[in-house]
Amino acid sequence: MTPRPRPGGRLVRSYVVTDGRARPTRNTLDLITLLTAADDPPPTGLTPEKRRVTELCRHGALSLGEVAGHLGLPVSVTKVLVADLMDSGHIATRTPSPGFHNPFEQGERPSAVRRFDAGILQEVLDGLRARL
């Protein structure tokens, strides 16, 4: 949708919940990174927001974008929290999207050709056709 003005308050909160950090401790996180909560360690000592992330992911797997949506947090803030929780062993990720050649990681220009494995593209096509 379109940008819209936000009431005051959120910006300060974002700053606080990330401990003042703008960037996550790892840059491999994406909106569709799949997250699950680890059984241990116990969520003691976590900030309220980190506890909410862990609690949400305890019941099943969700993408990072879904976690942000359910908890009402901006994506950038969610990435910082999730990266911390991965560092502390509270959150684990499932394998990233298969067959994707990431030109950014290869230091290529963004306009470089992106390639997905033909097999995964066929799976997408088959899966969509099955919905009709």
Task: List the structure tokens of 30.
Answer: 């994406």
Pick from 26, 70, 87, 89: which binds other proteins (CB under 8 A)?
70
Nearest-approach distance from CB 116 to other proteins, in angstroms? 6
> Mutual orientation of helices 48-58 and 64-71 as an angle, nearest 10°?
120
- Kind and range of the H or E run holding 40: none
Backbone angles phi, psi at 93, to 5 degrees: -110, 150
Per CB under 8 A, 87 contacts other proteins: no
Window 105-124: contact mask with other proteins (x via CB under 8 A): ----xxxxxxxx-x-xxxxx
Please tell me the count of residues contacting other proteins according to CB under 8 A: 71
Pick from 25, 87, 89, 100: which binds other proteins (CB under 8 A)?
100
Alpha carbon 77 to chain centroid, angstroms: 10
